[in-house]
Amino acid sequence: MSCVQLRLKDLDDDAICRAVDYLRPQAQRRGVAFLLNDRPDLAFETGCDGVHVGQTDTPYREARAIVGADRIVGVTCHDSRHLAMEAAEAGADYVAFGAFYPTTSKEAPARADLELLS
């Protein structure tokens, strides 16, 4: 399954909702799941296919309760297989590792090694 994640930090709810309302239908018409970063409440309210949460965002169980059993919940696990196992055991639909390479788009709390994916 293909997914696109909308990550809009530091914008107000109205701006996020407008972006979702414009982009979500375009992705969904193409069979691509549309996920919102960090905001399970807005993901649910705006008809997103799911949400992606980080370790300092809404906890997995709370995010799942907000979006429901039929939507996708993914969890950032930085560079930790242990966090990934915990997320999977809790029911996460996917886990994400990273950052693997330097990025200017956000402050990366950990640098994951490519060996993590082996």
* pLDDT (average), residues 97-103: 87
pLDDT at 1: 77
pLDDT at 108 over 80: no
- Order of strands, edge to edge, in the sheet holding 94-96? 3-6, 33-37, 50-53, 72-76, 94-96
Q: 92 pLDDT band (50/70/90 cuts)? A: very high
Q: Does domain 3-117 have CATH number 3.20.20.70?
A: yes
Is residue 28 pLDDT above 90, yes or no?
yes
Query: Quick one: which of 74, 71, 50 has its CA closest to 60?
Result: 74
CA distance 82 to 109: 16
Q: Look up residue 107 and give its two tokens.
A: 């402050």
SS3 11: coil
- What local confidence, expressed as pLDDT, does residue 9 receive? 85
Segment 18-45 shows an average pLDDT of: 98
> Do residues 111 and 80 lie in contact, with contact meaning Cβ atoms separated by under 8 Å?
no
